[in-house]
Structure 1
Amino acid sequence: MSQPTLCLNKLADDLENHGNLLALLTELPTTELSERGRVGLIQFSTGLMKDFENIERTFNSYRASIAPSC
């Protein structure tokens, strides 16, 4: 398998995994969480967003590397 294919497969897997986690966050009933549960949710959400931003940077870097120069 070529390097670009590996990069795209990893990006697709990362996006799918993060999509699943985001779906969990949207369906989680926050009214039933304890105070510590709410703090944990905020920490989890913050970490998830940082990871997603890293995926975006990787994708943008990959896209720039394959873009034809005009």
Structure 2
Amino acid sequence: MTHPAPCLIQLADDLESHGNLLALLNEVPADELTDRGRIGLIQFSHSLLRDFEKIEKQFKRYRASIAPSC
């Protein structure tokens, strides 16, 4: 069973949003956080990575849907 291709505009929006969040992670001074803040940063990073993996899967489905069958 094939899955419908995700909307390319939605993929682009998701990638842009995650890029903004990654930029935020890059700028957070971890050495200035409390222990609880560090735990939150780790949890946020893990969640962001999981979400990004979902976007990658959607992009692979999109790419497969537009690939010519040879």
Normalising by the residue count of structure 2, what TM-score does the alignment of the two structures yield?
0.91
| Matching residue's letter, 1:29 | P
Q: Which residue of 2 aligns with 1:48?
A: 48
Cα RMSD for the two superposed structures:
1.5
Q: How many residues align?
A: 67
| Structure 2 unaligned blocks of 5 or more | none
User: Which structure: greater helix fraction?
Assistant: 1
Q: Secondary structure at the match of 2:7?
A: helix
Runs (4 or more) in structure 1 with deviation over 4 Å come to none
| Structure 1 unaligned blocks of 5 or more | none
Q: Which has the higher contact order (CA 8 A, sep 6+)?
A: 2
Normalising by the residue count of structure 1, what TM-score does the alignment of the two structures yield?
0.91
**How many percent of aligned residue pairs carry the same amino acid?**
67
